Chain A
Amino acid sequence: AQTVTQSQPEMSVQEAETVTLSCTYDTSENNYYLFWYKQPPSRQMILVIRQEAYKQQNATENRFSVNFQKAAKSFSLKISDSQLGDTAMYFCAFMRNRDDKIIFGKGTRLHILP
């Protein structure tokens, strides 16, 4: 069975700093999909970024980028120039294929301090 592990329950950084959230996963599949979701205090779940395992290039969305290390089964999220609005719970997620379920980690609560 696939598992997703986020080892940092909570983090705090100063505004404008760069922060990296860790995620590891376990699978025997070769092709799969990985995601980072953000949940601000409003409780709405928002997709931040996604990565397809067969693509070697790391995904980037504005200030958000990932470091995808397939051999190590690691999928970390880097937030550059952090802003107060980045304060949220962040979830790493895994999907084996397009017909499968999506499995989430337990989340990392990120606080951006003014």
Chain B
Amino acid sequence: DAGITQSPRHKVTETGTPVTLRCHQTENHRYMYWYRQDPGHGLRLIHYSYGVKDTDKGEVSDGYSVSRSKTEDFLLTLESATSSQTSVYFCAIRVTRRTEAFFGQGTRLTVV
């Protein structure tokens, strides 16, 4: 267990509102990732980070922004939520000097 906590675990929000999801780790690992999971699409990378203030886009980054002002927190913001962003969002970390990733328990976001 790499000490990953996602919050909130469930959220329902209205179209057009901003939403921020938080990923918190307790062990100061360098690499953090945000994915979304949708039926038929598997896990798709939204954004990832390789250090404080160092982030890069994934394959489905439109409509999302991220911030990492300290090692332990990686925030994902939906700037103006749309129904197409209804999904399950997973945060993952990769343990420093190792290759495998460990995942949080996911956040189910519903945009109505």
Contacts and interface: CB of A to CB of B under 8 A. Distances in A.
A pairs with B: yes
Interface of A: 6, 9, 33, 35, 43-45, 47, 50, 52, 91, 95, 98-99, 101-107
Interface residues on B, range: 20 to 34
Contact of B88 (A43, A47, A105, A106): A43
A106 B35 CA distance: 13
Contacts, number: 48
Contacts of A98: 97, 99
Contact of A45 (B56, B58, B90, B97): B90
Interface string B15-55: 00000000000000000010100001111110010100000
Contacts of A6: 42
Nearest to A45: B103
B94 A102 contact: yes
Contact of B35 (A9, A99, A104, A107): A104
A99 B94 CA distance: 10
B50 A102 contact: no
Contacts of B48: 101
Most buried by B among A91, A103, A105: A103
A35 B101 CA distance: 10
A23 B41 CA distance: 15
Given A91-B42, A95-B99, A102 B92 contact: yes
A43 B94 contact: no
A33 B42 contact: no
Contacts of A35: 99-101
